Amino acid sequence: MEYTFREIERKWQQAWKENKAYEVPNETSKPKFYVLDMFPYPSGAGLHVGHPLGYIASDIYARFKRLKGFNVLHPMGYDAFGLPAEQYALEHGVHPADSTARNIATFRSQMDKIAFSFDWSREVKTSDPAYYKWTQWIFLQLFKSWYNREADKAEPIDTLLEHFSKEGNSRHPLPNAQSVIPGLENNNFTAGDWNGFTEPVRQAILMEYRLAYCGYGEVNWCEALGTVLANDEVINGVSERGGFPVEKKRLRQWYLRITEYADRLLKGLQTVEFSEAMKEMQGNWIGKSSGAEISFAIAGYDAATLDVYTTRPDTIFGVDFMVIAPEHELVGEITTADQKVAVEAYIAYVKSRSERERMAEKKISGVFTGAYAVNPFNQKQIPIWISEYVLAGYGTGAIMAVPSGDERDHKFARHFNLPVTNIIGEAYNGEEANPTKDAKLTNSDFLNGVVMREAIDIVIGKLEEMGIGKRKVNYKIRDAAFSRQRYWGEPFPIKWIDGIAYPLDESELPLELPYVESYKPGPDGEGPLANIPEWTASHLETNTMPGYAGSSWYFLRYMDPHNDQTFCDRKWSDYWRQVDLYVGGTEHAVGHLLYSRMWTKALFDLGYISFDEPFKKLLNQGMIVGVSRFICCDDANHQLLSHDIAYRDANSQEKIEALQRIYTTRRVPSEYVDKLGRFIISKTEDFIKEFKLQGYKFIPNEDGIIELEFAIEKMSKSKRNTINPDDIVFEYGADTFRMYEMFLGPVEMSKPWDTKGIEGVHRFLKKLWRLFFDEAKGKLVTEEKATPDELKILHRTIKKIEEDTERFSFNTSVSAFMVCVNELTDLKCHKRQILEPLLILLTPFAPHISEELWQQLGNSTSILDAAFPAFEASYLVESSKEYPVSVNGKMRTLINLDLNASQDQVQEIVLANDIVQKWMEGKPLKKLIYVKGKMVNVVV
RNA sequence: GCCCGGGUGGCGGAAUUGGUAGACGCAGCAGACUCAAAAUCUGCCGUUCGCAAGAAUGUGCUGGUUCGAUUCCAGUCCCGGGCACCA
């Protein structure tokens, strides 16, 4: 009997489907385990071999946990709303709903061929009204909540109303001190004020507290995409999708008040198992820094103080100038008449520069305002400058510049010839700033001789005493822009009446996205929904939610996917709780992962779930990159040459360079390349036709082969270097494909796809098959009792696979199978006692062949329900009495030492001494060291 | 510039975390079976010297700790990733 993988795989996939083998009950006595993949965005390109890497890893782990007796939730779905589908719609006139449905069907068929153990009965699609009903519902909960800083948690807005009507906002000042509320003189009000406010004023105030709120703000506007983007969707001044320019624009936007969660998002990182790199990235994004806010008096100007934020209050005597952002509110007021022209010119110049220019050039520029601040400790007058290197959006938009300690301040001082006060003695060399915290202060009045690190607290204490400063923590993270001027997203369940946002009633959900023929932008930066008369007539919000809305909570919906009464019954979220293992790429480090962590915390605060971190352990899979091939091309002579022919004489760098001037290269799509990376000769005609190379001739080498050059690149449809998993599965089977992807290397690592290596894994499965069947003799399996050597092989393998799989080392697991099968083949071991447990071990990796052989052994139930075999330590003890000995630190040989037999160390050493002495031909032994109970080291 | 990773054969990668480096696989070489091919099997496969047994050397580089270092420490050079006027 042969290993007919296509037939076997089709048969079992069918059987598992019919038996609903992967459906997971909520009600069971088993312990739970939740393994989740980041669900895909169903793009039109379909899956390539890089995509399933993480899915295979998580599938193996899920199946492994199932064998170990867990009730494993392992679902899959689609992140179906989003920009690309709409871009595609605009370009091709296909409705996003249609193209998305078609793409999902492709994804599904590709995934089915790889035999993932997903419970498809729990599938979710974020664009499904039954799903986004609850996305809208959660949005409403955020809208109807505020963050109580005293309790450090979100609460329903009603509790805030209670505070307001009893005591105004004295205990709960506006989260954003810079907020401007029309009709409210300053941002503080009493209970009496509150009760006297009109409804619009009250609503405007409440909006400033809501966790999901609408306001005007500087946003990242992308003209080409016609929408606003979140900070994490903008990279180096261009959009992540498409690379279009992004500019700052002031627009009405919805936001999530994620800043209120900054500290908890940071602290929560300590409770989850994310990679250090991932924690670092999130930590950077949140960007916590602590220091002080200091109010400087402005000479001759009493109306306001100049407030700066600094992490280094210890350097206060080194402040040589102040710098404020060009947008700073005081600019107009403090600028002296002399400087007015220069300042206005500078502000005009700054406005003329785009975000990108600013970032690309980093020119030192600025202008003096003519005004002076006063150092509160020594009354020194400090000039106030304006420069674009100070950002309006961070801290107070003003800094105290300490050129001896800060590189940017130092450059600025140099550029404008400002004096530099040295407050760190020899630690400052006069050439460049030294940001140390460990120097002793000089020129610093009462701080002279104090180490800077310690001076920080002293200064803050003094400032607080004087009432001109306070300890302050700052974060880089900004509230997340939550609206898109787009069609293909969740509509906001909000109605605008007389400028006030009213939430829809829960009974009105879902607010369905209307079907439209055109996705053209609406008027005045509004979304396409503004083009629909019925929509605007009902005063509905015309923006839609961003792509990350639906993905911020989908892991909860899988627990209770068909519930139409609530987003997820508390009973089931209490059972499944956190995702135990979350697998996905690093690209979502500061987007999706941060947002879903915030939503989880908010839902936790509001009492809807019982945990406040969604993902317990995060495994980041690497990318599988492609190998692109290029053919050497001699355009002058119309020849396409085998690489070795073209570069035959390239024995020096000069010659190589000379040849490179003669030849160019042309990209060869993967379908023209064989497994060994050579051009497939039979396709020359097609290639010439496709790339319009009429008259070109192919020049193979002596062996009739056309060798190609290669480069490692990211797989992409446009580069035509993708490998479709369907093709691999067709040629080798899903089991081989699964094992090979794991065998390539650690899951976390990026690596190039190399098709030729897959043969080895395929050979392994055939070899395994031959332990059970011989083509001529038929069934080989016997009921004979296993020998100790065979048992040793089995139990060692069980131990290794269990340990390696538990620590996600799937590549070494696959190797362990190969070693085991090689050894059993050598021993001609065909015993059921050995082979049956081996099949169970293999099930997570290669489910089809395992199930087939399992049934062939006469088992009546599915191997999916088998129990993971336990190893017996007794078989693992080394039977050999030989131990390695090192002499002078070098491992020399094995000698006959019975260390296990004796518990008495002295006896062992004597024994070793004896033998080693003999072995060393009488050379004296100076020292004998007993190490680790198994190793004897001798120093001569 | 700052912060994380990582440098091991021709290649992908192992090494129980301080104990015989190079498992497993690919590629390569030699052989068996075969009319032949495929498939399968066996042996060899870091470098240098040697007919061989064997010896020396070897985990980016330079030092250090140790009986013993791919593993720990210091310095240095490369490669990959992230952040980047955040005061």
Name which of A624, A615, A500 is nearest A183 in CA terms: A500
Spell out the residues 6+ positions from residue A579 whose beta carbon is closer than 8 angstroms to its own.
A34, A35, A36, A555, A614, A615, A616
* Residue A719 DSSP class: T
What's the whole-number mean pLDDT along residues A214-239?
A: 79
* Residue A513 DSSP class: P
- How far is C-alpha A22 from the geometric centre of its chain's CA atoms? 28
Give residue for tokens 């495994």: A619
Task: With cut-offs at 50, 70 and 90, classify the pLDDT of residue A904.
Answer: very low
Nucleotide closest to residue A803 (CA–C1'): B16
pLDDT tens-digit readout, A812-840: 999 999 999 999 999 999 999 999 999 99
pLDDT of A905 reads 37
Give yes or no for a contact between A220 and A234, defined as CB atoms under 8 angstroms apart.
yes
Q: Whole-angstrom Cα distance, residue A603 to residue A207?
A: 19
In degrees, rounded to 5, the angle at the alpha carbon of residue A576 between the alpha carbons of residues A574 and A580 is 130
pLDDT of A295 reads 94
pLDDT > 70 in chain A, percent? 92
Q: How far is the CA of A689 from the C1' of B37 (A)?
A: 33
HSE of A488 in the Cβ direction (CA atoms, 13 Å)? 26
pLDDT tens-digit readout, A377-397: 999 999 999 998 898 888 889
Q: How far is the CA of A757 from the C1' of B28 (A)?
A: 14
Task: With cut-offs at 50, 70 and 90, classify the pLDDT of residue A909.
Answer: very low
Give yes or no for a contact between A827 and A771, defined as CB atoms under 8 angstroms apart.
no
Nucleotide closest to residue A405 (CA–C1'): B87
- How far is C-alpha A45 from the geometric centre of its chain's CA atoms? 22
Does residue A898 register a pLDDT over 60? no
- Global pTM reads 0.90
Name which of A267, A248, A215 is nearest A388 in CA terms: A248
Does residue A878 register a pLDDT over 70? no
Provide the β-strand partners of residue A373: A298, A382
What's the whole-number mean pLDDT along residues A94-112?
A: 94
Nucleotide closest to residue A475 (CA–C1'): B86
Does residue A405 register a pLDDT over 70? yes
For residue A221, give both structure tokens: 């506007």
Q: How far is the CA of A835 from the C1' of B81 (A)?
A: 44
Q: Whole-angstrom Cα distance, residue A742 to residue A753?
A: 12
* Residue A682 DSSP class: G
pLDDT of A227 reads 79
Nucleotide closest to residue A478 (CA–C1'): B86
Give yes or no for a contact between A218 and A74, defined as CB atoms under 8 angstroms apart.
no
Task: Compute how many other C-beta atoms are within 10 angstroms of the C-beta atom of residue A807.
Answer: 10
Task: With cut-offs at 50, 70 and 90, classify the pLDDT of residue A883.
Answer: low
pLDDT of A935 reads 47
What's the whole-number mean pLDDT along residues A349-370?
A: 79
For residue A21, give both structure tokens: 């083998």
Question: How much is the mean pLDDT over chain A?
Answer: 87
pLDDT tens-digit readout, A285-343: 999 888 999 999 998 888 889 999 999 999 999 999 999 999 888 998 899 999 999 99
Phi–psi pair at A816, nearest 5 degrees: -65, -40
Strand B bases near protein CB (under 7 Å) are 3-5, 11-15, 19-21, 23-27, 39-42, 67-69, 80-83, 85-87
pLDDT of A921 reads 43
What's the whole-number mean pLDDT along residues A580-601?
A: 92
Handedness of CA A530, A533, A535, A539 (dihedral sign): positive
pLDDT > 90 in chain A, percent? 57
pLDDT of A58 reads 95
Q: How far is the CA of A892 from the C1' of B50 (A)?
A: 21
Q: How far is the CA of A792 from the C1' of B29 (A)?
A: 34
pLDDT of A821 reads 95
What's the whole-number mean pLDDT along residues A387-414?
A: 90
Q: How far is the CA of A423 from the C1' of B77 (A)?
A: 36
- Closest residue by C-alpha to C1' distance, nucleotide B12: A744
Name which of A391, A383, A390, A443 is nearest A416 in CA terms: A383
pLDDT of A594 reads 93
What's the whole-number mean pLDDT along residues A344-366?
A: 79
